[in-house]
Structure 1
C-alpha cells in the first residue's frame, strides 16, 4: 500500500520562503521520504511474513538496517507533513492553547522566545508537543528525524531548522528564518491538534 502524498496546504510564500525552496523541500525531499517509507516497509512486510530473519543482529543485519531506515523515513514523512500543515497563517494565537502556553511559560512572549531559541539550538527539528506522561506542554528538539523525539509526546507545532528549509533564501541567517516562521504559523491548525488531544484526555 502506497502512502498518500499531501499537497502544500497553503498558497503564496509564507515565512519569506521562495517558491523554489518550497518546491524542492516539498516535491523533492518530502516526496522522497514518502517513497523510501513505502520501499522500506514493503521489504519489512516480506520479512515479517515468513522471510529470513535468522541473521538478525544488533551490530549489523538486513533487518537492523531496514528498521533504522524505517524510523528515519517514517518520521521524515510525518514531521514534514506537520511542518507544512502548520504554516501559512497570520501568526495570531488565541484560544485554549494560548491560555495553556501562558500558564506553562508565564506569557506568550516567553514561549515564542524559548521556542525560537530551541530552534537555534537544534540541528533538525523543534517541536512543541503534548507530553502524555506528565500531561504538560513541552518543547523538544531533534538533530535528525529519528533522534531527539520522545515517545508519548504528541507534536502540536513543528518547525524544520535543517538548512535545506531556509538556506537558499536566508543563507546562514537562521534567526531571521525562525522569526519569519513564527509570524506565519497557522495557529488554528495547531489549536485543532491541541483540542483533539484534550478531548482524548478527557475520554480517558
Structure 2
C-alpha cells in the first residue's frame, strides 16, 4: 500500500487499511478461481448452472474487483484541484465545461451502487461518466478507465456513515490528477 494513501484529507487511514483488506481478498479469490478453472469439469457446462459457469461469472467479479480497486487507489493521494493539459481539454470537449463534468460525476456517485468511472470511449472518442452497480455489472466494452471512484459503503462508512455526499467531496480533495492524466496520455499514444 502506498504510504500516501494513509495521509488523505477526509479519508482516514483506518478506512484505507480496511478497504485494502477487501482488495487483498479479491486478489486471493481471483487466484483461487483461476486455479479451479484449470481442473473444472467442462463436460457438464450449462448456461443455467454448472461449476464452470459459476467460476466464469465469479472470475469477472473478482478480477474486475482487483482492477477497479487498483485504479481507485492509484488515483488517490494527490492534491485534488483540477486536471490540466490534455485531460482537462478532453473533459471540456466531452462535457462542455469542467463544472458540468464534475457535477455529473458527483451525481453519478450518488446514483451508483458501486463505482463511477470516467472512461475514454475508443469508438466515439469522448469521455463518459459510467456507473457500475457491481464489479461485473455496468462495465462498458471498448472503454478505458481514466478516473475511478468506489462508492460502495465500505469506501466511506467508517468515516461518514451514510453520508456518501461528504465522502465524494473528500475524494475530490484527494484526486491524483497526474495519475489520471497519465492514463489518458497513454491512450493518446496508441
**TM-score band w.r.t. shorter chain:** over 0.9
Do the aligned partners of 1:56 and 1:63 also contact (CA within 8 Å) in 2?
yes
Do the aligned partners of 1:86 and 1:190 also contact (CA within 8 Å) in 2?
yes
Match of residue 66, structure 1, among 55, 59, 72? 55
The CA deviation at 1:46 is: 2.7
Equivalenced residues, count:
189
> In the aligned structure 2, how far is the partner of 1:8 from the partner of 1:167?
22
Equivalence for 2:33? 40
Match of residue 13, structure 2, among 19, 42, 61? 19
Tell me if 1:169 matches 2:159: yes
Equivalence for 1:10? 4
* Shift >6 Å, 4+ stretches: none
Do the aligned partners of 1:86 and 1:186 also contact (CA within 8 Å) in 2?
yes
The CA deviation at 1:10 is: 2.2
Unmatched 5+ stretches in structure 2: none
Equivalence for 2:86? 96
The CA deviation at 1:15 is: 4.3
> In the aligned structure 1, how far is the partner of 2:180 from the partner of 2:107?
20
Aligned residue for 2:189, secondary structure, equals helix
> In the aligned structure 2, how far is the partner of 1:137 from the partner of 1:75?
20
